[in-house]
Amino acid sequence: MTARQLGMVIDLNKCIGCQTCTLACKSQWTDRDGREFMYWNHVETRPGKGYPKDWEQAGGGWDGDTLRPGRLPRLHEDYGYPAEFGYEVLFEEGEKPLRPKEEMAWGPNWDEDQGAGEYPNSYFFYLPRLCNHCSNPACQVACPRQAIYKREEDGIVLIDQERCRGYRYCVAACPYKKIYFNPLAGKSEKCIFCYPRLEKGLPQACAYQCVGRARHVAFLDDQEGALHQLVNQWKVALPLHAEYGTQPNVYYVPPLSPPKIGSNGRSLDEPRVPDEYLVQLFGPGVGAALEMLREEMAKKNRGEASELMDLLIAYRHGDMFRLDRPREVV
Amino acid sequence: MDRREFLRNSTYCGLALAFGGPLTALRAHAATPLGDQRWEELYRDEFLDTRGDAQGFAFHCSNCQGNCAWKVFAKDGRVTREEQSAAYPQIHPRIPDANPRGCNKGIVHSKEMYQGDRLLHPLKRAGERGEGKWERVSWEEALEDIATRVVDTLTEQGPGELMVYAGTGILSQGRRAGPLRLGSLLGAQRLYPASAVGDMFTGASLAYGLANTGHSLDAWFDADAIFLWAINPIVTRIPDAHYLNEARYNGATIYTISPDYNPSCKFATHWVPIKPGTDAYLAMSLLHVLLRDGHVNDAFVREQTDLPFLVREDSGELLRHRDLRARGKEDVFYCWDEASGKEQPMPGTPGHFKKTLRLGKLRPALGGRYEIKGKEGELIPVTTVFERVRAEAANYPPDETQAITGVHPELVERMARDLARSNKAIINIGFALHKYVSGTMSCWAAALACALTGHAGERGGIDTEHNWSLNGIGPLSSPKPARFASGFFSEWLNGDMQASMDTHYSDEHLKATAGYDSKDVERQVAENRESGKAYYGKPRALLLFADNMFRRNKTEAHHREAVLSNLDIFVDINHRMDSTALWADYVLPAKSHYESWDIRGELGYHRFCNVTIPPEGLKPVGETRSEWAICLGLSEAMAKVARARGIEPIADPDFLVQEGDMAAPVMRDLQTLPDDFTDGGTLKNDEDVVRWLMENVEQIAPWTPEDARKNGFVILNEKAGFTSPLYANRPYHSFERNVYLREPYKTHSGRQQFFVDHPVFKEHGWTVPTAIGPLRPPSFPLAFYTPHTRWGIHSQWRTNEQLLRLQRGEPYLWLNPATAAARDVGEDDRVRVFNDVGEFIARVKLMPAVPPEAVVMDHAWEPHQFEKRIGLNSTVAGMISLLELPDGWGHLTFSPNWDGNMIAHESSVEVEKA
């Protein structure tokens, strides 16, 4: 354990799948220097194969106290090569359409809005993903160079770009497949939780620029912070795939959905998203978390107060981020 | 990075597969890092690089109603990155603030502005139109040639043959002012953009005399019930969507009415799956339940609506003063007064001397049948509008409409109950509703549902798209009168659109579904042309600013060819090569969103007026110029031609100015054009224009550009509301002046209006809200509708590399898996979409969210992204609605609040494997 741990709660009832976070991260970190194919932060539609494709089947993480084997995603098939467009066709003779120079085979949002089920009972929701800055990071242990470490002051997991030799054991070991190999630099890279921004008192680009206001950032030991309250007190924020054993520090408020519809068009009192699917992602606590959300929403509906709802509403954008230093940059 | 280089290096990734075996932990957790942490400077330096050495502010002035303030960072004169300003103040502690406004499109503009389709230099066509042969020319050469040819048009054919049209690519007060002012000085035609793009809310126009009405979107937050009707704000109103989700956490019940399980449905309490185009039946069944169960706010409807107005049972028309008195008035209407036991004129109608809705001692009866003595002494049998409305709604019990709409009666009952019992309920009408002919009726009926239940002012009501009132812009944008043309009507005629309507819809089918046929349309079009309805003929010269006319219009190539065939000169002024610029004679490169000063404050989703102030030292992109500079350049070049030829001021007798007791025609003086354009040298550039606006628009007072330099915006004052004050600490709600101060509405009746006896309405049984449609011809099995996309503001940003990587790189449509399987079509297959109007090819995305009877496709892909550059509008037949054509009846007279739509979602298609 580090002295302090910074974490994030992402509210899936406020994440609207717009990918503004994805692009905020991209223009902050990954639009250059061999990182073009990487999305340190992305939003995938669930159910779906996700990004990289079928990452949940790619292994990694812990099996008790030993590392589970993992495989490396393929560039073209699993990440998707970052499409390039020949805009010059628009200034040339002929009817050539503006298209990717090479057809896309996969991408970070390939599954967008597809989900599962049958009309009118199909279902989907959005799942933003980034490095979980785990408390028991498999990547750190897998690195033979000991290039990966957790910062004492905030628990951020970093890959020392001077020590890293690009072996990619970490890529395979991360069960969330959130470490990427930079073929230009010959090193592995990943989400750095925007530590250069945090150090200037500015929240992570993905969180600060989240137009859905879905992300809360706080230290876990901050009793006043949304992390402590949502994770420990209200127990409505849950880690993704806790069974991977890495002890993630990104938590999710699970998604609500409208009820199912019967064959005659009647609204049924049945959940649209099968419980077992949500349990598979967020563990056995998900039922209680959803029930808590429904109960507190019902209170508001009746005109009563609800601290939990007020916390999730987040009346002031600035209050969603509790960092340990004042803002230094404009 | 070069692609080859990337792939060469990335072969590591391929080889790496061999490493994919089991891994063993080499050591326990490292408690402390082995090395020191000095390497962390690497990312710190990168961060500072993106933060740049200069900072400006901007919003994205496209046809997006979001209007979000952004910080723009630049380094060495080049934009590095943008980040939402996120500094909007909270207006009340119990209302969430508006931060951080700004979405996935805005955030990629720093890439878009340097992308390969950016126009960098003036280009002159070197081959046939659309052939793609271009010659780079200097600004001087381009402006001189264009000016010569425009002057030819003006002198030989007159000002009406020139169109200067700024499309919806620039919808701000600053940048838009240039083309508006130039067109105004020249007397040119310009289209009404809202109707050209099909964004008129004619159902709201009928009810309120206002097309755009509603709330600031923070008003969602404390609503009890929200009905999202044909609107998908989770996708299309991204900066405001949080208010919906926060409203739900605040206890609101949210319904979404949509044929597909779109993203907004996921966030709703209830999804109401409706068969495409049957919304008017659902609306009527809601009215049925409200009236059946007596959910009528008696005091509200007696005072605020025309429901107590008397209707003649013999003629089916409203009872008017002229029916009772010789030389009586046309615009005085009557109620049956229960207090005096006889008919009484209703105060507040345009012809009544009392300009208030206050009823005084009147007790207008809602129901009943009466007899009234006419001017000849004859007895006139009358009833009330309320009785007519009730009789019509009685025809639509929910257990019967289910067969048409697919919506279960229990759901209808529940919606009606929630509407009636909510203190504050909002019905949001999306732009998609009026893409069906029935949209007018659906919206009008929804307005009636809100009236019956008293939802207006702080109790909510209809929300189409709310705009602010900005006064004082006239002297800048319209110094002289010019030809303001109906958008949809001009494009219908300029594009010879009736041909495809006749191909796609048989008269019998139209009669059976819409109640009118092509001859009715033809007749009404001819009548409107004769009466001079806002149409000025096909232009011969076109200066087109930021308008993707040939992407947008239905039938695509058919429309394009019809328009181009009449043009002697077509100049496209744009920041990128879009599907319309491809067909121009000249393409002039304009600055885009971060490069010139701009201001925008009319958008009513929030109260903030954003200001664009480019970062200090920003280097121009190529030879781009601001719209203002381009218009000034054109003015100077035209003046030069005029002086050389000795052209005297041209009289434009279509417009008269009063001078003393004499009326004289407006003069179009080409020689003084630059001086007139700059107002004697005071409006030299884009910054001058923004400063002028901030000084002269009273709703912006007391702010100055220096105030805007702090966070990129200023706050509009209380005068910004059309129908209510804009209070500093409350969300904006419409119609408070009517509901609380009893000011009349801008309608023929002075009230919320639910009876229209225009002859066309009477002839077709449309005097009160009723159900019509859908028109979808059975000749092809699938409905085809094209909702707004998450990935562009219409075609803007549609070709953005960053955004296309988050899609599939090329156009795709959505198909239900069962529909696809029946046609042996699978995921990602290429299919041909076709009907009797046209065809195009796209990829398939299998979507269980889509109803089996429909093909759904994000609208506004550029045609040039498709094979053979044939886009999706190729299969959309022309259609205009007879409901939207009548003109010259009370508030149904051409204006920004009464114009029509190009109907986009009624066509049907078939799909097969390509």
Which residues, given as ranges, of chain B have pLDDT below 50?
1, 3-4, 6-25, 27-31
Establish if A99 belongs to a structural domain. Answer: no
For B681-707, letters b (16+ CB in 10 Å) and e give eebeebbbbbbbbbebbebbeebebee
Q: Which pair of tokens denotes residue B652?
A: 């434009």
Establish if A158 belongs to a structural domain. Answer: yes
HSE toward the beta carbon, residue B804, CA cutoff 13 A: 31
In total, how many domains does chain A have?
A: 1
Per the CB < 8 A criterion, the answer to whether B204 and B213 are in contact is yes
A201 interfaces chain B, CB cutoff of 8 Å:
no
Mutate to test the interface with A, among B808, B827, B828, B840 (most CBs of A within 10 A): B808
Q: Using a CB-CB distance cutoff of 8 angstroms, which residues of chain A are in contact with residue B32?
A: 149, 152
Closest residue, chain B, to A168 (C-alpha): B16
Burial class (CB in 10 A: 0-12, 13-18, 19+), A302: exposed
The 3-state DSSP class for residue B691 equals helix
Place of tokens 């994770």: A231
Give me the helix-helix angle, A286-301 and B241-249, nearest 10°. 90
Establish if A10 belongs to a structural domain. Answer: yes
Per the CB < 8 A criterion, the answer to whether B732 and B724 are in contact is yes
Closest residue, chain A, to B803 (C-alpha): A23
Closest residue, chain B, to A262 (C-alpha): B408
Read off the amino acid at residue B235.
Answer: V
- Min Cα distance B607 → chain A (Å) is 17
Closest residue, chain A, to B115 (C-alpha): A87
CA-nearest of A180, A160, A167, A157 to A79 is: A180
Q: Which pair of tokens denotes residue B504?
A: 């796609």
Q: Which pair of tokens denotes residue B376?
A: 């000849």
Residues in chain A: 330
Query: What pLDDT is stored for residue B21 in this prediction?
Result: 41
**Contact: A140, B107; criterion CB under 8 Å:** no
Cis peptide before B100 (omega within 30 of 0): yes
* Sign, CA torsion B234/B237/B239/B240: negative
Establish if A327 belongs to a structural domain. Answer: no
Per the CB < 8 A criterion, the answer to whether B445 and B480 are in contact is no
- CA distances, A224 to each of A63, A217, A227, B804 (Å): 35, 12, 9, 41
Query: What pLDDT is stored for residue B34 in this prediction?
Result: 63
Establish if A93 belongs to a structural domain. Answer: no
Taking the C-alpha atoms of residue B659 and residue B429, their distance in angstroms, rounded to an integer, is 46
User: Average pLDDT for residues A76-94, to the nearest whole number?
Assistant: 95
Establish if A328 belongs to a structural domain. Answer: no
The 3-state DSSP class for residue A128 equals strand
A241 interfaces chain B, CB cutoff of 8 Å:
no
| CATH code of A231's domain | 3.30.70.20
* Domains, in order of start, for chain B: 202-269+406-463 (3.40.228.10), 279-405 (no CATH)
Per the CB < 8 A criterion, the answer to whether A139 and A68 are in contact is no
| B30, B96, B133 ranked by CB distance to A149: nearest | B30
- Min Cα distance A163 → chain B (Å) is 8
Closest residue, chain A, to B266 (C-alpha): A257
Place of tokens 């102030």: B613
A295 CB-near residues (< 8 Å, 6+ apart) = none
Query: What pLDDT is stored for residue B15 in this prediction?
Result: 43
| A20, A95, A98 ranked by CB distance to B103: nearest | A20
- Kindly give the residue spans of alpha helices, DSSP state H, lying in A108-160: 138-142
User: Which ipTM was obtained for this model?
Assistant: 0.98
**Pairs of residues, one from chain A and one from chain B, whose beta carbons lie less than 8 Å apart:** 363
What does R_g of chain B's alpha carbons equal in angstroms?
Answer: 29
Residues in chain B: 914
**Contact: B273, A186; criterion CB under 8 Å:** no
Taking the C-alpha atoms of residue B886 and residue B147, their distance in angstroms, rounded to an integer, is 39
Taking the C-alpha atoms of residue A137 and residue B481, their distance in angstroms, rounded to an integer, is 71
Query: What pLDDT is stored for residue B33 in this prediction?
Result: 55
Closest residue, chain A, to B225 (C-alpha): A301
Taking the C-alpha atoms of residue A9 and residue A312, their distance in angstroms, rounded to an integer, is 10
**Contact: A16, B806; criterion CB under 8 Å:** no
- Min Cα distance B53 → chain A (Å) is 12
Closest residue, chain A, to B867 (C-alpha): A97
| B24, B241, B268 ranked by CB distance to A212: nearest | B241
Q: Using a CB-CB distance cutoff of 8 angstroms, which residues of chain A are in contact with residue B802?
A: 23, 26, 31
**Contact: B245, A14; criterion CB under 8 Å:** yes
A231 interfaces chain B, CB cutoff of 8 Å:
no
- Min Cα distance B796 → chain A (Å) is 15
Taking the C-alpha atoms of residue B409 and residue B400, their distance in angstroms, rounded to an integer, is 9
CA-nearest of B289, B444, B304 to B366 is: B304
H or E stretch covering B519: helix B518-530
Residue A325's CB is within 10 A of a number of other CB atoms, namely 10
| B48, B116, B577 ranked by CB distance to A85: nearest | B116
pLDDT bin (cut points 50, 70, 90) of residue A295 is: very high
Query: What pLDDT is stored for residue B8 in this prediction?
Result: 46
Establish if A91 belongs to a structural domain. Answer: no
Query: What pLDDT is stored for residue B36 in this prediction?
Result: 85
- Min Cα distance A293 → chain B (Å) is 9
**Contact: A16, B101; criterion CB under 8 Å:** no
B832 CB-near residues (< 8 Å, 6+ apart) = B839, B840, B841, B911, B912, B913, B914
Beta bridge partners of B856: B785, B814
Q: How far is CA A70 from the centre of its chain?
A: 20
* Sign, CA torsion A291/A293/A298/A303: positive
Mutate to test the interface with B, among A119, A208, A294 (most CBs of B within 10 A): A119
Confidence check: pLDDT of A12 > 60 = yes
Long-range CB contacts (within 8 A, 24+) of B818-823: B818/A118, B818/A119, B818/B852, B819/B782, B819/B850, B819/B852, B819/B853, B819/B911, B820/B844, B820/B846, B823/B911, B823/B912, B823/B913
Query: What pLDDT is stored for residue B35 in this prediction?
Result: 66
- Min Cα distance A44 → chain B (Å) is 10
Place of tokens 């100077």: B636
Q: Using a CB-CB distance cutoff of 8 angstroms, which residues of chain B are in contact with residue A98?
A: 117, 799, 862, 864-865
- Min Cα distance A214 → chain B (Å) is 8
Q: Which pair of tokens denotes residue B276?
A: 């495409």
Give me the helix-helix angle, B139-157 and B627-645, nearest 10°. 60
Which has more pLDDT, B2 or A317?
A317
Mutate to test the interface with A, among B105, B110, B249, B404 (most CBs of A within 10 A): B249
Taking the C-alpha atoms of residue B247 and residue B750, their distance in angstroms, rounded to an integer, is 34
**Contact: B406, A265; criterion CB under 8 Å:** yes
- Kindly give the residue spans of alpha helices, DSSP state H, lying in B712-807: 736-739, 759-763, 801-805
* Domain that residue A25 falls in: 6-84+105-320
- Min Cα distance A327 → chain B (Å) is 14
Query: What pLDDT is stored for residue B19 in this prediction?
Result: 34
Residue B644's CB is within 10 A of a number of other CB atoms, namely 10
Establish if A173 belongs to a structural domain. Answer: yes
A206 interfaces chain B, CB cutoff of 8 Å:
no
Taking the C-alpha atoms of residue B865 and residue B869, their distance in angstroms, rounded to an integer, is 6
Per the CB < 8 A criterion, the answer to whether B878 and B775 are in contact is no
Q: Using a CB-CB distance cutoff of 8 angstroms, which residues of chain B are in contact with residue A316?
A: 90, 96-97
Strands (E), B701-838: 713-715, 782-785, 812-815, 830-834
Closest residue, chain A, to B123 (C-alpha): A91
Per the CB < 8 A criterion, the answer to whether B426 and B215 are in contact is yes
DSSP state, residue B218: G
- From chain A residues 260-289, the ones with a CB under 8 A of any chain B CB are 261, 264-267
